[in-house]
Amino acid sequence: MSETTDLRTVDVVVIGGGPVGENVADRAGRDGSEVLVVEAELVGGECSYWACMPSKALLLPGHALAAARRLPGAAAAVTGRVDADAVLARRTQFTHGWDDSSQADWLSSAGIGLLRGSARLAGARRVEVVSADGTTTLVEARRAVVLATGSEPVLPDIDGLPQARAWGSREATSAEHVPARLAVLGGGVVGVELAQAYARLGSEVTLLARSGLLGGYESVAGELLADALREEGVDVRLGSGVERVRRETAGAEEITLTVGGPDGSAELVVDEFLVATGRRPATLGVGLETVGLQDGATLEVDDSGLVAGVDGEWLYAVGDVSGRAPLTHQGKYAARATGDAIVARAVGTLTGDPAPFSPWAASADRLGAPQVVFTDPEVAMVGLTEARARERGLRVRAVDHDLATVAGASLTADDFRGHARMIVDEDRRVVVGVTFVGPGVAELLHSATVAVVGEVPLDRLWHAVPSYPTISEIWLRLLEDYGL
């Protein structure tokens, strides 16, 4: 219930103070203009408190132990298991106990205003903010309004799910205990990362995926990951789904799932059930209907983040809400372009569409965003898969190499298992996609990103010599296999 209405005018309003909103605000205010961020929950967004940071904090101690176990000499010193309480405590340190004061302080130190409350568009260049105390503030933006509201989970239609108090990624990343038995539905990035995190923290984990793991990646990635998860005791059930869920509250609290799979239906009893079946851009309830779009619409944005279908070059959308690569680093990249474009349009250095690869265009999204799945083995990919490249009509050749054969890998671990795949555009002789699978490959990925985004000709890439004995020597092997 509104009590009072305040009126404010600023240059730029950013709705959503996640990593993307923070970065837009920073860049859009660099010419001294007045920028206001509106945040309904915690400044820092999903990534800081319920996604990137806590999920990696849950995973990495288990990976460190596994790495030591693969290294004779070090392995003998590893006699215990992961200390789950210490891991949960360290996770909580990384989320600052779900207190955003340090990030709010950063906004203030950068000269950016913060208004806490839930915001929605209220016509052209206007935003209405309802704060927790019921105060309504109407904010007018002289230059731009930026939607940076992120994404929200998509829940499947399963009998009993709404009553079952299932976990989503928020509950799984902020949990205070490790369930003895955990079922995970969804073989995407969230599903595989959190399945392995909890398995290594001591849960008995069943991972239910309706097809293979990590659809959208090269298939070798999902295959190697499924093998690794099974070897460490995760019950990976491919071609499976959940037909019915019931949380029993009499006696010991547990959840009974009716799991359908290739061999028919069977019951599975667990202590927690994590649903990780994807996310969608958070465009519902943000007032799109007040500016001529539909509530909940899928937004179409150009490379500077400008939303199509709205006149006057004032409404932008960046990050997960824009429907482009839903990754923190790629959202922040787009945010830098949008923030700079807002300033450039205001001062007249940018008119019309931004040129590709100018400071105002997130052009690299079109080549394929780099992404890492932080499981063990890690999966690191940039650019196009072979299938995606062929769909785009490119004449490509895939080059595969067993990552275990390079000296750096064999030094890192006995029985190192991994794979590298490079996709070459035969007409332009440039690399358009790379996938690495194996322990520690995340740190290799940026070399691939430079090759793909830089469109480095293969004959020049040949002269980028990897150090011996590092895992980067895989580049030499891939280029030799190609025929150089």
Residues in the site for ligand FAD, rule: CB under 6 A?
A: 15-21, 38-41, 45-47, 51-52, 55-56, 118-120, 148-151, 169, 173, 190, 282, 286, 319-320, 326-329, 331
Residue 149 binding target from ligand FAD, ligand NAD, none, CB below 5 to 8 Å by type: ligand FAD
Q: Which of 10, 129, 372, 452 binds ligand NAD (CB under 6 A)?
A: 372
Residue 112 binding target from ligand NAD, ligand FAD, none, CB below 5 to 8 Å by type: none
Each residue 319-358 as x (binds ligand NAD by CB under 6 A) or -, in order, gives -------xx-------------------------------
Tell me how far, at minimum, the Cβ of 265 lies from ligand NAD, in Å: 15
Q: Please, which residue, 189 or 409, has the CB nearer to ligand FAD? A: 189
Tell me how far, at minimum, the Cβ of 216 lies from ligand NAD, in Å: 7
Q: Please, which residue, 134 or 215, has the CB nearer to ligand NAD? A: 215
- Using CB under 6 A as the binding rule, whether residue 236 contacts ligand NAD is answered as no
Residue 278 binding target from ligand FAD, ligand NAD, none, CB below 5 to 8 Å by type: ligand NAD
Q: Which of 17, 187, 319, 331 binds ligand NAD (CB under 6 A)?
A: 187
Which of left, alpha, beta for 352 (phi over 0: left; psi -120 to 50: alpha)?
left
Q: Give the binding range for ligand NAD (CB under 6 A) out of 101-109, 184-192, 218-226, 422-430.
A: 184-192
Tell me how far, at minimum, the Cβ of 121 lies from ligand FAD, in Å: 9
Q: Please, which residue, 142 or 329, has the CB nearer to ligand FAD? A: 329
Residue 45 binding target from ligand FAD, ligand NAD, none, CB below 5 to 8 Å by type: ligand FAD
Q: Please, which residue, 178 or 194, has the CB nearer to ligand NAD? A: 194
- Using CB under 6 A as the binding rule, whether residue 190 contacts ligand NAD is answered as yes
Touching ligand NAD, residues 1-60 (CB under 6 A): none
Q: Please, which residue, 153 or 260, has the CB nearer to ligand FAD? A: 153
- Using CB under 6 A as the binding rule, whether residue 237 contacts ligand NAD is answered as no
Tell me how far, at minimum, the Cβ of 55 lies from ligand NAD, in Å: 6
Q: Please, which residue, 41 or 271, has the CB nearer to ligand FAD? A: 41
Q: Which residues make beta-bridge pairs with 380? A: 372, 436
Binding footprint of ligand NAD on the chain (CB under 6 A): 156, 185-191, 193, 210, 215, 241, 276-279, 326-327, 371-374
